[in-house]
């Protein structure tokens, strides 16, 4: 039952399997290529020296030699989602670029409520996918470890179909932008676009496993997939802390009565309310014993086999 969380963490080196899966999966999502992914990077300035016009005589009064050196006020740099690690690598965000950009906009009032509601709906849809598809995620984990490209593609497309609620209304970027006040849309687009541009510039220097240079489409597709995997990982963590994952595991295929289901959820919710559960939490032993107490003999046999991995 256990899903290895390390498989949900991003990797810096693009693999051939991930790249192939990313391109097909991104196409299936309908989000690449899009206007954001195709934004051109700034052109490289010409190396020809620019002609400098003659400087007119200054009309300013001469500096007072006794006045000391002039100290200019520090210029404030524009907010940015781009930052680097100590080795110069672009630091990947811990949230979606859209969420990070909105945080810098410091929205208030109705605009903030609308955008927060959108993020909440998306998070809930991903959590429901995770709790309801542990078997599929485990198979995807195995396919990734064995580098089985065919299984990655087939299982990945199945996952994306089940996640239709996440992107049926369009890309997260377009949905967020539509909810923002008009005077903040340009800044939102600048923040997100500059982040993707930085990843593309870095990605051009990292060839794929065939040793070939990657283009913008391939880089953005791979980064989008890895960012979405991060969202799934965070949903997994939330499911563990709230007890929803263990509840789904316990309730599946046991033919529990409505009263039993309610009691199981009550037990788990009560335990999680005291403190967030952890993946290796010793409290699961107590939960297990409490849950066994409300099951009949056939259900107890089934759940014991399940915990043993039989």
pLDDT average, residue stretch 285-296: 82
The full set of domain ranges for the chain reads 15-31+90-239, 244-308
CA dist 108 and 160 (Å) reads 33
Q: Do residues 277 and 240 touch, judged by C-beta distance below 8 A?
A: yes
Instruction: Identify the pLDDT of residue 304.
Output: 77
pLDDT band at 120 (very low <50, low <70, confident <90, very high): very high
Q: Which of 74-78, 277-281, 287-291 has the highest mean pLDDT?
A: 287-291
pLDDT band at 143 (very low <50, low <70, confident <90, very high): confident
pLDDT tens string 168-201: 888 999 999 999 999 999 999 999 999 999 999 9
pLDDT band at 110 (very low <50, low <70, confident <90, very high): very high
Residue 284, class by beta-carbon neighbours within 10 Å (0-12 exposed, 13-18 middle, 19+ buried)? middle
Nearest Cα neighbor of 40 from 283, 267, 217, 261 is 217
**256: pLDDT strictly greater than 60:** yes
CA dist 192 and 187 (Å) reads 9
pLDDT band at 118 (very low <50, low <70, confident <90, very high): very high
Query: 28-32, 81-85, 200-204, 209-213 — which is least confidently predicted?
Result: 28-32
Nearest Cα neighbor of 202 from 171, 181, 223, 174 is 223
Give Cβ neighbours of residue 214 (< 8 Å, ≥ 6 apart): 14, 19, 203, 204, 206, 207, 208, 222
Instruction: Identify the pLDDT of residue 194.
Output: 95
pLDDT tens string 16-74: 333 333 433 443 343 433 444 444 443 333 344 444 444 444 444 444 444 444 544 44
Which tops the pLDDT comparison, 247 or 38? 247
Q: Which of 66-75, 84-93, 236-245, 288-297 has the highest mean pLDDT?
A: 84-93
pLDDT tens string 225-235: 888 888 888 98
Which tops the pLDDT comparison, 189 or 240? 189
pLDDT average, residue stretch 112-129: 92
**212: pLDDT strictly greater than 90:** no
Identify the residue whose tokens are 């930085």.
198
Nearest Cα neighbor of 28 from 233, 232, 228, 236 is 228
Instruction: Identify the pLDDT of residue 221.
Output: 87
Query: 229-233, 263-267, 277-281, 292-296 — which is least confidently predicted?
Result: 277-281
């Amino acid at each position: 039952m256990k899903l290895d969380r390390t498989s949900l963490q991003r990797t810096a080196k693009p693999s051939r399997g991930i790249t192939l899966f990313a391109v097909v999966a991104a196409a299936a999502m309908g989000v690449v290529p899009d206007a954001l992914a195709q934004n051109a990077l700034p052109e490289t300035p010409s190396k020809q020296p620019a002609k400098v016009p003659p400087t007119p005589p200054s009309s300013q009064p001469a500096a007072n030699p006794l006045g000391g050196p002039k100290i200019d006020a520090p210029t404030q740099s524009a907010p940015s989602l781009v930052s680097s690690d100590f080795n110069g690598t672009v630091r990947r965000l811990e949230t979606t670029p859209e969420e990070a950009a909105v945080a810098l906009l410091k929205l208030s009032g109705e605009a903030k409520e609308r955008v927060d509601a959108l993020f909440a709906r998306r998070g809930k849809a991903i959590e429901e996918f995770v709790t309801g598809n542990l078997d599929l995620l485990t198979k995807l984990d195995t396919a990734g470890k064995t580098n089985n490209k065919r299984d990655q593609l087939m299982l990945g497309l199945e996952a994306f179909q089940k996640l239709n609620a996440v992107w049926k209304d369009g890309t997260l970027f377009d949905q967020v932008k539509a909810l923002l006040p008009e005077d903040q849309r340009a800044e939102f687009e600048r923040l997100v676009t500059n982040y993707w541009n930085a990843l593309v510039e870095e990605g051009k220097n990292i060839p794929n496993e065939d040793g070939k240079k990657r283009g913008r489409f391939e880089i953005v597709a791979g980064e989008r997939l890895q960012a979405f995997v991060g969202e799934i990982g965070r949903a997994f963590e939330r499911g563990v802390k709230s007890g929803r994952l263990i509840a789904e595991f316990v309730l599946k295929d046991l033919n529990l009565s409505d009263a039993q289901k309610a009691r199981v959820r009550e037990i788990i919710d009560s335990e999680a309310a005291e403190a967030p559960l952890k993946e290796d939490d010793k409290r699961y032993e107590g939960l297990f014993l409490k849950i066994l107490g409300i099951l009949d003999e056939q259900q107890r046999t089934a759940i014991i086999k399940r915990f043993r991995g039989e």
